[in-house]
Amino acid sequence: MKNHLANPLVNTRYMNSEDLARVERRAVEFFCAGTGGPEEYTGKDMLATHKGMNINEQEFMTVIDDAMDALQKNGIDDATRNEVLAILWSMRREVVRV
């Protein structure tokens, strides 16, 4: 979240959120549940979450780049980063221009 807020290409999407803490909680849940952690994802599905936001390709790639940068800065190994990248990329159709 820190990377997104510092990134001028996407920061307004996050700064204008009515409940930034909720957005961050859902992102943590999503990553934890998706990587086999005990947490349950309690948010909407990706399509419902992003419908009407008109996210463009550049914003999508920027968010992925921010996430990958955070993983690298936190010492996450290459294999795990590649797995996360593949998962994020697979959601493109449920996020971009929906």
Tell me the C-alpha distance between 97 and 73, whole Å.
30
Predicted confidence at residue 63, as pLDDT, reads 97
- Rg (the chain; Cα; Å): 13
Predicted confidence at residue 92, as pLDDT, reads 97
- Is the full-model pTM beyond 0.85? yes
Predicted confidence at residue 71, as pLDDT, reads 96
Domain ranges (residues) in the chain: 2-94
For domain 2-94, give the CATH superfamily. Globins (1.10.490.10)
Instruction: Band the pLDDT of 70: cuts 50, 70, 90.
Output: very high
CA distances from 30 to 8, 9, 38, 88, 91 (A): 24, 23, 11, 11, 13
Tell me the C-alpha distance between 75 and 3, whole Å.
16
Instruction: Dump pLDDT digits (tens) for 22-65.
Output: 999 999 999 888 888 889 999 999 999 999 999 999 999 999 99
